[in-house]
Amino acid sequence: MKRLSVFRAGIAVGLLALLGAIPAGASPYNPHADAQAEIRQALVEAHSEHKDVLVVFGADWCADCRVLDRALRAPAAAGLQKRFVVVQVDVGAFDRNVGFAQQYGIDLRRGIPAAALLSGNDRLVYATQAGELADARRMGVAAIVGFFTRAADRGATH
C-alpha cells in the first residue's frame, strides 16, 4: 500500500512536470534535506535577525504546496520575507518528516501544505490544525500574506 502511494506521488510529479506546472530544476521541497538541521539553522538566523521561523510542510507533487511556495516568494509578500525565515520541509508521500509536523501539533492527514510558526527562541506561536492552507490555489497571494500576518500578530514574538 505504501509503495502504491509513493508510486502515485511520483506519477503526479511527472505529469505536472510534463504539463509545465513544475519548472525544470525547481524543487522547493528537497527530499534529501536534513529538516532538523535546517530548522535549527533557521532558528539561529531568526534569533539573530529578530525574526520568526515559518516551517512549511509540503511536497513537490502537491499543487497547493507549490502555489504557497510561489506566493511566499512573490513581491507582494515582501513583508513576510522581512518577518520570517522560511524552511520548507518535504513530507514525500506522507512518509518523510511526519514526526516534525506532529512535534508542532500538525496532523498532515488534514491537508498540506501545513505550517508551524516559531519564535526565534523556538517557541511555537501558531500551527495549522485543520488544513487551513490546503486550498492555497484559491487563496491568492494577498490572502496568504494576511493569513501568516494574522498568525504572527497573535503570537507577537518581536
- Run of H or E including 20: none
Question: Which tens digits make up the pLDDT trace of 32-41?
Answer: 999 999 999 9
* Alpha carbon distance 56, 88 (integer Å): 5
pTM of the model: 0.82
pLDDT tops 50 at residue 125: yes
**What is the pLDDT, as a whole number, of residue 20?**
40
Of the candidates 66, 90, 71, 89, the residue with the CA atom closest to the CA atom of residue 81:
71
- For the domain that residue 57 is a member of, what is the CATH number? 3.40.30.10
pLDDT tens digits along 41-70:
999 999 999 999 999 999 999 999 999 999
CB 61 within 8 A of CB 9: yes
Residue 14 has pLDDT above 60, yes or no: no
The per-residue pLDDT for 4 is 40
The total of structural domains in the chain comes to 1
Pairing type for strands 84-90 and 114-118 reads: unpaired
Give per-residue pLDDT as tens, 68-89: 999 999 999 999 999 999 999 9
Contact 118, 47 (CB under 8 A): no
Structural domain harbouring 125: 2-155
